[in-house]
């Protein structure tokens, strides 16, 4: 017996191409059309065979371009199907014989009817005709009796290829192609190239290549208003007297009946005419309205409607009053009554609805303490939760959760990034910002962060909540307690025993803001021979000169030694350049052996008023 798998020779395939090229193959005579081509783990149906060494797949090769051994399963090929049909026919005839049934003749019905003379009663005819099942007809004295169907074993499963475009002349159709023509569905059972003679349902020979799979059903045809001069067919639908009627048979000049009758010999009621608006509960609308307007009842009758205005629609939500606000709540539209004078509109703490509340007092700030981040002290600052009023004449309250600001990340990329384009040494200011709903944090070297390229659009509210210094590529270590910032290591801002007239001296505090520096002065007369009488004098930047003696060293004899340490009160203010007035003033005698000004921190009100 011939193998159901053909694998002689080798093949070459290309990715995306349906063409398969063979070497030492004999596909044309191997009857592989319609079989399944398998290679390199893929299997694709064979659409056609062009020769012993060329065939076309049903679609482009899905695998990689390659060559090698292959296999073709022929269980589904056209030749195998034909052999299967003949084999089953032989089995049926054998079973009929075993049952004592011996057809006297076989062929088409046309051949049966052409028998001359017609056979005697008892003659059995087996109908064998393309497109029809196997049936037995028996000759009786009054004619042919039948058909008597013969059911054979279940056939192999087929694969239907549906042709969406429908039938077209000059097209090569294959076995099991399906399509619709004039409302009826057909299946091709003989491969052929279409022409007028094989047009499904129309051509003279269409039944030799097509089988009906689903006949066209009846459908309604709407013909408009009824006319006595129009010829109507069954299932035509007309409009007459405001009602719809369907024709029961072909008719001309026979009108539908008058209501309340619902049928006559030619017509049957399909849809009865509706009321004209005068009945109980009927609704009457205006003659015309603008598109997309909402319908509202007009009056108390329940039968008149009108085009509602936006004001009328919104007024239906609660009892309207001037100043009320309409918002979408969890279960529908809700009305928020107007607030009291001086109140501001804000989101509730659950962020689910607006509410009225007292405005945030200007300068308000609670919490929001800064600290060096333990994981990345070089670039990151931690902050605690808190809330603050924005820096404006009419501030809003901004509530912020604890988190981390990242100086080395542009805002929008990480949590609390910088608003500036680049990172550099100097003073950096920490901000809380808001668009009225969402609150975020970030850093900028400018006291106006909105001027920076990474500042987000729409965040009109902001508040500086602290400032830090970055030098040597590292955020300077510090500690914060309320408004007081303490350096982890105090800084030396002047170390000289030379006399100095009043001058602006830069101290180790952030610039861009006014702060109260925390200072320590140390003067020493150790090793000096003679009288020493000198003072360190400081003054706020706004005073224009040094006018406050904060430390003085005095020795009355050459044999005396002295060291003076003083901590000025934190009531001196810098300018925005981090400067205050300084003087080293002699009152007689020699200069001290040493005089040092230290800065160990600063006090920053952070925008309080």
pLDDT the model gives residue 355: 82
Does domain 482-603 correspond to CATH entry 2.60.40? no
CA dihedral defined by 142, 143, 149, 150, rounded to 10 degrees?
Answer: 110
**pLDDT tops 70 at residue 250:** yes
CA distance 420 to 441: 13
407-445: string of b/e by CB count within 10 Å (b at 16+)? bebbbeeeebbbbbeebeeebbbbbbbbeeeebbbbbbb
| 65, two tokens | 């371009």
DSSP 446: S
- CATH assignment of 221-271, among 1.20.1560.10, 1.10.10.520, 3.40.50.300, 2.10.10.20: 2.10.10.20
- The pLDDT value recorded for residue 58 is 87
> When comparing pLDDT for 394 and 577, which is higher?
577
Domain 5-76 shares a fold with domain 482-603: no
CATH number of 161-214: 2.10.10.20
Q: What would the pLDDT profile of 78-98 be if each residue is shown by its tens digit?
A: 555 555 455 555 556 666 665
Six-digit token pair at 490?
């105090």
Cβ-contact 162, 172 below 8 angstroms: no
Write down how long the chain is.
609
User: Does residue 486 surpass a pLDDT of 80?
Assistant: yes
**Whole-number mean pLDDT of the chain?**
84
Q: Which CATH number fits domain 5-76: 2.130.10, 2.40.30, 3.40.50, 3.30.70?
A: 2.40.30
pTM of the complete model beyond 0.85: no
CA dist., res. 502 & res. 583, Å (int): 4
Burial of 577 (0-12, 13-18, 19+ CB in 10 A): exposed
Can you give the residue ranges of every domain in the chain? 5-76, 80-149, 161-214, 221-271, 365-476, 482-603
Q: How far apart are CA 256 and CA 239, in angstroms?
A: 9
What pLDDT digit, counting tens, does each position of 293-341 carry?
778 888 877 778 888 776 676 666 666 677 778 777 777 777 788 877 6
Burial of 201 (0-12, 13-18, 19+ CB in 10 A): middle
Give me the long-range contacts of 292-301 (CB less than 8 A, separation at least 24). Answer: none
- Residue in 87, 121, 88 with CA at minimum distance from that of residue 104: 121
Report the pLDDT value the prediction gives residue 526, as an integer from 0 to 100: 79
Q: What SS3 class is residue 532?
A: strand
């Amino acid at each position: 017996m011939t193998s159901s798998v053909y694998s002689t020779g080798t093949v070459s395939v290309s990715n995306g191409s349906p063409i398969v090229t063979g070497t030492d193959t004999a596909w044309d005579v191997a009857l592989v059309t319609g079989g399944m081509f398998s290679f390199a783990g893929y299997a694709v149906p064979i659409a056609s065979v062009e020769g012993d060494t060329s065939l076309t797949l049903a679609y482009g090769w899905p695998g990689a371009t390659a060559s090698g051994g292959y296999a073709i399963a022929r269980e589904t090929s056209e030749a195998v199907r034909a052999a299967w049909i003949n084999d089953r026919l032989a089995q049926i005839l054998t079973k009929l014989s075993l049952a004592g049934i011996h057809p006297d003749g076989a062929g088409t019905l046309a051949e049966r009817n052409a028998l001359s003379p017609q056979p005697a009663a008892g003659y059995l005819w087996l109908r064998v005709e393309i497109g029809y099942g196997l049936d037995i007809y028996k000759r009786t004295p009054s004619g042919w009796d039948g058909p008597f169907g013969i059911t054979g074993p279940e056939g192999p499963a087929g694969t239907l290829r549906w042709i969406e475009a429908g039938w077209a002349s000059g097209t090569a159709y294959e076995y099991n192609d399906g399509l619709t023509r004039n409302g009826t569905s057909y299946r091709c059972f003989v491969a052929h190239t279409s022409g007028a003679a094989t047009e499904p349902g129309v051509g003279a020979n269409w039944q030799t290549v097509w089988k009906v799979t689903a006949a066209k059903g009846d459908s309604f045809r709407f013909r408009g208003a009824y006319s006595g001069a129009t010829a109507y067919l069954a299932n035509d639908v007309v409009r007459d007297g405001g009602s719809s009627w369907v024709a029961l048979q072909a008719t001309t000049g026979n009108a539908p009946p008058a209501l309340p009758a619902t049928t006559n010999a030619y017509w049957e009621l399909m849809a009865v005419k509706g009321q004209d608006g005068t009945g109980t509960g009927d609704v009457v609308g205006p003659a015309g309205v603008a598109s997309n307007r909402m319908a509202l009842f007009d009056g108390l009758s329940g039968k008149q409607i009108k085009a509602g205005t936006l004001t009328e629609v919104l007024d239906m939500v609660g009892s309207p009053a001037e100043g009320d606000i309409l918002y979408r709540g969890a279960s529908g539209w809700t009305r928020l009554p107007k607030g009291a004078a001086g109140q501001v509109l804000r989101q509730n703490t659950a962020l689910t609805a607006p509410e009225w509340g007292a405005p945030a007092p200007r300068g308000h700030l609670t919490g929001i303490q800064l600290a060096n981040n333990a994981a990345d002290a070089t670039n990151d600052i931690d902050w605690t939760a808190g809330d603050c009023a924005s820096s404006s004449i009419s501030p809003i309250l901004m509530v912020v959760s604890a988190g981390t600001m990242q100086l080395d990340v542009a805002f929008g990329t990480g949590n609390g990034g910088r608003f500036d384009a680049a990172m550099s040494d100097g003073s950096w200011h920490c901000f809380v910002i808001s668009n009225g709903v969402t609150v975020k944090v970030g850093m900028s070297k400018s006291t106006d962060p909105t001027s920076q390229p990474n500042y987000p659009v729409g965040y009109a509210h902001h508040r500086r909540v602290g400032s830090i210094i970055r030098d040597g590529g590292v955020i300077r270590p510090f500690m914060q307690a309320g408004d007081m910032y303490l350096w982890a290591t105090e800084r030396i801002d002047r170390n000289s025993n030379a006399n100095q007239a009043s001058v602006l001296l830069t101290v180790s505090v952030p610039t861009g803001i006014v702060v109260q520096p925390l200072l320590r002065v140390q003067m020493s007369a150790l090793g000096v021979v003679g009288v020493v009488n000198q003072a360190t004098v400081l003054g706020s930047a706004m005073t224009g000169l040094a006018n406050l003696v904060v430390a003085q060293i005095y020795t009355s004899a050459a044999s005396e030694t002295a060291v003076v340490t003083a901590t000025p009160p934190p009531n001196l203010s810098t300018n925005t350049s981090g400067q205050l007035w300084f003087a080293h003033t002699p009152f007689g005698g020699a200069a001290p052996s040493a005089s040092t000004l230290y800065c160990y921190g600063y006090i920053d009100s952070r925008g309080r008023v």
